[in-house]
Amino acid sequence: MQTLTDRFGRNHNYLRISVTDRCNLRCLYCMPEEGVEFTESTNLMSYPEIVEVVEAGASLGIKKLRITGGEPLIRPNLEQLIARLAAIPGIEDIALTTNGVFLANKAKALKEAGLNRVNISLDTLDPARFKFIARSGDLKRVMEGIEAAAEVGFHPIKLNCVLLKNVNEDEIAQFLKLAYEQPLHVRFIEYMPIGHDDENWRNHYLPLSRVLEIATEQNYEISKRDDIHGNGPSEDWEMKGGVGSFGLIHPISDHFCKNCNRLRLTADGNIKPCLYWVDELNVKDAFGNSEAMRDIFYKSMDIKPENHEMAARLLNGAQTHVPTDRRMSQIGG
């Protein structure tokens, strides 16, 4: 089997698939509160089209999939897509990233369809602050989604917490306590300037070294671990005596590009070799032609840069490529 290896020797076996750019929330680090132009439903990739892209990718060594959005559970009958993807030869693992609001009602069907794992966005444990960060929604429904995920047997359950300076950094100790007491993997994520290199990002960016400082202040005895399934770019830690764990995803203070193994498929049908840069390859003209579809995957390897340069933007430095103007919700988180 030919594999997807880029110019820098990185082998790619992971495809993140956005099924919609719409979301029921408006998280302040992800999209503006209003004025967002969403893709018309007629321009979204259909489930058969997504399956066709994945079949081509699987023939080239893609083994892991992650379904994202926007909020993927907005898309009707998502379990039907999961079942079709799980049946593709070579696909070994399918995960879902969700804000959790609709998960309680869908967890069982998703599990039965073949979904292996879930990542649930949870930026705060305070109901009022949840409404401030998400600009809508109900924290209680997210917690119910986490409980439902555990009940149907998803493991590990990962909670994604985007840290924001002067917004939720005072909850780091609470999240560490949650990971210590419950079988959850809390992943702290640095705020990234995807599609908006602005003062809001600069004012709220917080390096994740702060998490380790607080873990020490709280007297946790921590050590690194590398056995968490699907850990990807996360630097993972365990706390002696704890039942859960925590991870750090720090693309800016310590970027993870040297080990990148992923591609992204946007909801409107573009393969993105890198989350940060503008480069995209549209797949729609290749439908019905498996050779042409595989060729797009190969081209994505040819144009993939060695790394992103988000840290340079934090320092107002020059960059070697053109950053995307798409928000995270438009690309797929």
The Cα-based distances of 189 to 6, 37, 75, 78 in angstroms read 26, 26, 26, 26
- pLDDT recorded at residue 226: 80
- pLDDT recorded at residue 256: 65
DSSP assigned state of 241 = T
Q: What is the CATH number of the domain that holds 300?
A: 3.20.20.70
Q: What is the pLDDT along the chain (333 residues), one digit of tens a residue?
A: 678 999 999 999 999 999 999 999 999 888 878 777 888 989 999 999 999 999 999 999 999 999 999 999 999 999 999 999 999 999 999 999 999 999 999 999 999 999 999 999 999 999 999 999 999 999 999 999 999 999 999 999 999 999 999 999 999 999 999 999 999 999 999 887 765 556 777 788 888 999 999 999 999 999 998 876 665 678 999 999 999 999 999 876 565 677 889 999 999 999 999 877 778 999 999 999 999 999 999 999 999 988 765 554 555 555 666 666 676 667 776
- pLDDT recorded at residue 302: 95
| Domain of 307, in residue numbers | 4-331
- pLDDT recorded at residue 227: 75
CB burial string 124-161: b at 16+ within 10 A, e below: bbeeebbeebbeebebeebbbbbebbbebebebbbbbb
Cα gap 42→282, rounded to integer Å: 16
Report the number of distinct structural domains present in the chain.
1
- pLDDT recorded at residue 3: 86
- pLDDT recorded at residue 36: 78
- pLDDT recorded at residue 244: 96
- pLDDT recorded at residue 233: 76
Cα gap 132→297, rounded to integer Å: 40
- pLDDT recorded at residue 229: 67
Give 221-230 contacts, CB < 8 A, sequence gap 24+.
228/156, 228/185, 229/93, 229/117, 229/156, 230/64, 230/93, 230/95, 230/117, 230/156
Find out whether 48 and 288 touch, Cβ atoms under 8 Å: no
